Structure 1
Amino acid sequence: MSTIKLTSSMRQRYTSTAMLFHWLVAVLVVAVFTLGLVMTDIPGLTPTKLRYFSWHKWIGVTVLMLAVLRVLWRLFHPAPAYPDTMARWQQRAANGLHILLYVLIFAVPLSGYFYSLASGVPVVYLGLFELPVLIDANPGLKPVLKGVHYWLNMLLAGAVGVHVAAALKHQFVDRDGVLRRMLP
């Protein structure tokens, strides 16, 4: 029976599954955010707008499901250590930003789900599976949840921007290999 010896570079990278979750969620978050901006700018209630709303909800539910799987994967496969050259404050900031991103990839779809329910519109995933109706239509709660969903999205967009900027800084300024850990 042979044993596999992990090299230093192998331990400093995320697993292929973690990379898949990361990049799939990243692409879907950008897509659902963009679709949200486009659909809300369409005046009136058109077939195109309704179709975009459905797609937006489907992608949001998919992000939520992937977030659950991603957290479960992460529990059993910890992230690689930061480079020794990375300042302690940067490590704490990176950890804080990652926690914020995880919270938001749950909070944004959930706020959209509850906003939809408060609006009296059930969420039917892929047009096939109706998600449980956890709250009744509530005209008073609808504008509150709309605002919560909007501002959580803006916070997520900002956090993603900071995350991308930090990754590019590590790649092109620090040249410390932090970005390479997440590249296939």
Structure 2
Amino acid sequence: MNTLFIKYKLVIKFILTFLLVYIALSVVYKFYLQFSDGSKFYPDYLTHVVAKQSEALLNAFGYNAQVVPHPNEPSMKLIINDRYLARVIEGCNSISVIILFVSFIVAFAAKFKTTFFYILAGSVLIYTVNLLRIVLLTAGLYHYPNQKDIFHTVIFPAIIYGLVFLLWVFWVNRFSKLKTNNG
């Protein structure tokens, strides 16, 4: 048993580090959601900001967009030309995806400064691509309402998770300690 532990020490360390960081960040985020005051920023601050930024981008692209709080659920309704097209829920704010990204990067950490700046840059990129994803999804639903299922369940998740995967591959091949120890 000891030889197996020694042989797979790096794998075990990666899995444990990933799980610990993921669980810790998820718990912190859960507390944030639980204690968010939805009276000023509904349903929570981050989701509200993403909805407002989506509205601003849609308007910048020439759409007549607005977001309003959903009366029956914790979300923001995205509306173009008085047509309710999409809703921005907590899961749309990209924080869960960023937690997944950060957990992987920390599990394959390099020097602190490199790791910190990669996490910062990657998180900003994920947030930005997610925002564009929401805007494109809403505009797509406006122009092609019959494609709702393919947009929401296939194309747009592939964009955000594809980006995260590419960032992980780039990190492992370029910066991680695994690369410096074995290459």
Question: Structure 1 length as normaliser, TM-score?
Answer: 0.32
Bigger RCO of structures 1 and 2 (CA < 8 A, at least 6 apart)? 1
Q: TM-score, normalised by structure 2?
A: 0.32
Bigger fraction of residues in strand: 2
